[in-house]
Amino acid sequence: MMRSTTLSKPKAFTGARVSSARPMRAIAARKNFRVSASTGVFFSTTTGNTEEVAELVADALEAEDPVEIGDAAEDLSALLEYDNIIVGAPTWNTGADAERSGTSWDDVLEELGGMDFSGKKVAVFGCGDSSSYSDYFCDAIEELHSTFSGAGATMVGTNSIDGYEFESSKSCVGGPQSSEEASEMLGLAIDVENQSDLTEDRVAAWATKLQGEF
């Protein structure tokens, strides 16, 4: 699939990498992940922000270590071993209709869309920049959401728009809208660039919501 060539803005970083006091888990370890819990967290990242959020989500839900989706690409059926699946991506290709994350998700969404996720519950989170890329805030959430929904999954984890400000997002419930027009998003949006101080509280509140929906 070719990338869009009609973008009006350059590809968007979701923000500079956020440093962490604890070392990142080695990718090599993720390649040998084992299914032993009912909730799995899968992500991909470009700057590290989405990985950081994935770790916060996994810790809040006491799930297994997050898995880079590229490391599961050889056998995506591993996702089906979980009852509950959480997936996260940054938004990179601003304004694009497809391949919006610029990560390993772009290589696997078509295959995932052809699988049967009936009976599985899936929640989505994403990282974006509501200031520099306010017209495309967290658009990748909708791309992941529509992929798993189309594959039969029960989608959970919609999130209030309160506290967010952006011009438009494809990931609003009901279609592309501004933060003034929308009431909910299809998943958890995280803005590390402009609202990093809210990240932990937002993850904690979303995790509590997911515990009830799962």
Q: Where are the domains of the chain?
A: 35-213
8 Å CB contact between 80 and 115: yes
Q: What is the mean pLDDT of residues 19-42?
A: 48
Residue 57 has pLDDT above 60, yes or no: yes
Average pLDDT for the chain: 86
Q: Do the bridges between strand 184-185 and strand 159-160 make them parallel or antiparallel, or are there none, so unpaired?
A: antiparallel
**Separation of alpha carbons 135 and 197, rounded Å:** 22
Residue 26 has pLDDT above 80, yes or no: no
Collapsed DSSP state (helix, strand, coil) of residue 76:
helix
User: What is the token pair recorded at 165?
Assistant: 């400000």
Cα–Cα distance list, 199 to 48, 125, 191, 194 (Å) = 14, 12, 8, 10
The reported pLDDT for the residue numbered 54 is 98
- Could you list the beta-strand ranges (E) of 20-100: 39-43, 67-68, 84-90
Residue 35 has pLDDT above 70, yes or no: no
User: What is the token pair recorded at 109?
Assistant: 């969404």
Q: Which residue has the tokens 């009852």?
A: 83
User: What is the token pair recorded at 171?
Assistant: 């990931």
CATH class of 35-213: alpha beta
Position 93 confidence tier, pLDDT thresholds 50, 70, 90: confident
Backbone angles phi, psi at 150, to 5 degrees: -65, -20
Q: What is the mean pLDDT of residues 95-103?
A: 93
Higher pLDDT, 6 or 190: 190
Query: pTM, whole model, 2 decimals?
Result: 0.83
Residue 209 has pLDDT above 50, yes or no: yes
Residue 198 has pLDDT above 80, yes or no: yes
Neighbours of 73 (CB within 10 A): 13
DSSP state of 32: T
Give me the percent of the chain exceeding a pLDDT of 90: 80
Q: Which residue has the tokens 């529509």?
A: 146
CA-based Rg of the chain, rounded to a whole angstrom?
Answer: 16
Residue 183 has pLDDT above 70, yes or no: yes
Higher pLDDT, 35 or 142: 142
Partners of 90 in the β-ladder: 127
